[in-house]
Amino acid sequence: MSQDIFEGKNERPEEHTVGARKKERDQLQAEIEAFLAKGGKIEKVDPHVTADPPQKPGNNYTSRPI
């Protein structure tokens, strides 16, 4: 029954346990520490900053074939 909930996803139900999440957080923390130890730098980016500049809206009027 629980398999139906995750159907279509690549995740298994056992990946959603507290222990699994803690393992992921610990791994991420270790990767961050290794990155910083090699001289890496973490910069804070403001929430309103995006990588994609605004684009001019396109004209789709009558763009469908007849």
Say what the pLDDT of residue 27 is. Answer: 96
With respect to residue 14, please indicate whether it lies within any of the assigned structural domains: yes
If one counts the domains in the chain, the total is 1
Mean pLDDT (whole number) for 28-56 = 90
User: Which pLDDT band holds residue 54 (cuts at 50, 70, 90)?
Assistant: confident
Distance CA 47, CA 34 (A): 26
Confidence tier at 2 by pLDDT (50, 70, 90): very low
**Mean pLDDT confidence for 45-52:** 85
Amino acid at 56: K
Q: Residue 52 falls within a domain, yes or no? A: no
Residue 30: pLDDT over 90? yes
Q: Which domain holds residue 14?
A: 2-37
33 within a domain of the structure (yes/no): yes
Q: Which helix (H) or strand (E) holds 15?
A: none
Q: Does residue 60 belong to any structural domain of this protein?
A: no
Residue 23: its pLDDT value, please?
92
| Domain membership flag for residue 31 | yes
Residue type, 62: T
Query: 56 lies in a domain?
Result: no
- Predicted pLDDT of residue 33: 97
- Token pair belonging to 18: 């507290």
